[in-house]
Chains A and B, each alone.
Chain A
Amino acid sequence: MRTDSDEVVIEPYPSPNHGVLSSFYTPRKLLLPLRERLLQAVPRSSAPRSLVIFITREEQLLRAITDPRGDLTRRLKQVAQQRGLELVPFEGTKRTMTEQIQLFGRARVIIGPHGAALANMLFARTRMNERTRLRASAAD
């Protein structure tokens, strides 16, 4: 498996028994194996999950955040610091795929506008995710 790619495309999964919108949902049975394979291919960081990753979309033409004074970033950073976490602004075009996987592996919370960068939640090693993985493995 190559991990120096610039992007991962998650194909829509046909779901003819549901409505049009749900046909674009990627089901759990594909997401979990994909997640496991990608995480296995990238060295796991031993750093704590102490990041609040703020997806900015600052270089995107659509659905960017217009906040000229930086009030939102400042407020989120304040909350993160009060909770002992670090706010990291994220603009996906500036990082390699491997860097993204490692960064989101340290996420405690991901926050941002609707957009493809939210799919990086796939790499978040939250306790919730770990529990889900364990239960899925047990069910298999």
Chain B
Amino acid sequence: MIGMQAHGGARLRLAPRKDIKLSSIGLTALTYVIAFVVFFPVLWMVLAGFKTEGTAVELPPKLFFSPTLDNFRTAIESSGYATFFGNSVFLSVGSTILALLLGVPAAFSLGLYPTKRTPSVFSWVLSTKMMPLVGIIVPLIVIYKQIGLYDSRAGMILLYAAMNLPLVIWMMGSFFAEVPREVLEASQIDGAGVLRSLISVVLPLTAPGLAATALLSVIFAWNEFFLAVNLTGPNAGPLTVYISGFMTSEGLFWAKMSAASTLAIAPVFIAGWVAQRWLVRGLTMGAVK
């Protein structure tokens, strides 16, 4: 029950205003510190990308060093970078779209119209993620080679969508199930309105959830390495394979790998930023129910 009281939810504050302000500032400061600590390893990696191999692990670390773009140049100019990058984008976006197309209707059905079978369906869907990829890789290689999907973008999109589909179903299922009965019923007076109610009412209500789900799906696909390295060759390999190519066992690679990895997380950062706007947008939309 949403409880849209006309007075908008007045709350009684028992504590005096001055205390609120101080503890509020304290919390904000704490948040900034925590954010820095959490982000620090990423920052350290990004900085390493601008150093030479010799200075990347130098101690004491030079706070002021002359940055070099050599590693970034190496990372981009290496033949095939554009291919790897393009593949990553195709695979992440393509598989997420496919997973959403399949998973959102399924989650709608399971979350809002549950039956006695619903818990078992949820359980079975989750069980498809219980096999360690390492245990199933040889069968996958054999099958993919047989049907000609080895080293193909289509093959990887299909696999990644299957990998993320349980996530979509579970997450959107939970968010959909939070939609109050009345809103749902009010939005569909007759049968053909099911799809319309899904798209024009339910989805906007669960926009934060959808944004989080899509972002997570994109990230999981973007960072997936094991399937990618074993089932792709020179043609369909994504950035994860490319970056692992720097981790050699007979040479120093800290700076080069850091630069390549920095380039790889930049798009995801942007995707995250976009998803964030949706998270905020969902907030305002939800308030105007």
* Chain B associates with chain A: no
Binding site for A on B (CB under 8 A): none
